[in-house]
Structures are given as C-alpha cells and as structure tokens.
C-alpha cells in the first residue's frame, strides 16, 4: 500500500511539473516545490494513520508538512518570519504533537518539548515579551549546551 501511495504521489507530482514546463493551463501556485512538499507531507500523514505498524511516519509527515508550509510562507507571504529558529520549532512541534501527545511516547514528547522551547526562545521577537527578555537572552547564549545535554541524554539513558 505504501509503495502505491508514494507511486501515485510521484506520478501526480511529475505530471503537474511536466504540465508546468510545457506551459499547460495549470496555476503555478500548485506546481511549485513548496506545495508539492506540503502534499508529500500530508500524504505521509495519511499513510501513517492507516499503517499502525509505522508510527514514526507521522513524525516525518509532520516535519515535511511543517517545513513545506514554512517554505511556502517564505515565498508567498511578505510578513512571514525568516529566522532559523522556526526550523527546530517545527521539528519539535511534530515530535510533541505526533510522538508525545498522539502516541503518548514520553521520550518523543520530551524531545519535542525541548526543541520547541529552543526554537521559541531563540526567536528574536521573544525578547520583547515582558518577563521573558532576560531568560531569552540567557537561553540564546547557551542554547548549544541544551543540544549537548539532549544528545547525551538520548545516548546514555534508556527510555
């Protein structure tokens, strides 16, 4: 089933891109790579809902969908934030939502929470929030230490 879904996704993506290259009557907004990335992520999410034996697919589908939405926003929305901190926030959100909340996996929920907080506190706009400015400055300075601690925890602790 998974091979068929991925095959269908590839055929549709290739056909849309070919129509675009041949100046077919198809809107460019649905044949750009950002839209195709969103479609691929949603397809992976739908496959993961049907395949209970592949729980990590939901996390990957969430990451791909989130990065596709972020890329689309960068290309099409003038006020879209461009800071790098959105990438760990997107990855952390996917781990937290699909791993921690839906699957009730404490390890994935912890990873998601830490990455989401890292992304949120690294965002430059957080210093303007009253009460969080000082904490955000400290976390912006020492965020690589948080990654080292998270990595060491994953290496040495059995969950």
Instruction: Compare 17 and 151 and report the one with higher pLDDT.
Output: 151
pLDDT tens readout for residues 59-88: 898 999 999 999 988 888 888 888 888 898
Distance from C-alpha of 1 to C-alpha of 31, rounded to nearest angstrom: 25
pLDDT at 3 over 70: no
Neighbour-count burial of 148, counting CB atoms closer than 10 A to its CB (0-12 exposed, 13-18 middle, 19+ buried)? exposed
Domains of the chain, residue spans? 1-80, 83-159
pLDDT band at 122 (very low <50, low <70, confident <90, very high): confident
The reported pTM is: 0.72
What's the pLDDT score for residue 70? 93
143: helix, strand or coil: helix
Please tell me which residue, 63 or 130, carries the higher pLDDT value.
Answer: 63
| Residue 147 pLDDT > 80 | no
* 20-63 per-position pLDDT tens digit: 677 766 666 666 788 888 888 888 888 888 776 676 888 898 99
Q: What b/e string do you get for 111-129 counting C-beta neighbours within 10 Å, with b at 16 or more?
A: bbebbbbbbbbbbeebeee
- Evaluate if residue 155 carries a pLDDT over 60: yes
């Amino acid at each position: 089933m998974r091979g068929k879904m991925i095959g269908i996704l590839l055929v549709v993506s290739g056909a849309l891109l070919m129509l675009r290259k041949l100046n077919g009557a198809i809107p460019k907004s649905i044949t750009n790579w950002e839209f195709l990335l969103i479609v691929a992520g949603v397809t992976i999410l739908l496959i993961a809902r049907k395949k209970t034996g592949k729980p990590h697919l939901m996390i990957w589908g969430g990451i791909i969908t989130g990065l596709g939405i972020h890329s689309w926003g960068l290309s099409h929305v003038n006020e879209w934030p461009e800071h790098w901190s959105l990438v760990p926030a997107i990855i952390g959100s996917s781990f937290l939502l699909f791993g921690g909340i839906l699957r009730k996996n404490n390890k994935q929920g912890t990873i998601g929470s830490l990455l989401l907080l890292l992304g949120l506190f690294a965002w430059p706009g957080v210093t303007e929030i009253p009460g969080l400015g000082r904490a955000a400055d400290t976390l912006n300075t020492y965020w690589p230490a948080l990654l080292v601690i998270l990595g060491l925890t994953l290496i040495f602790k059995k969950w």
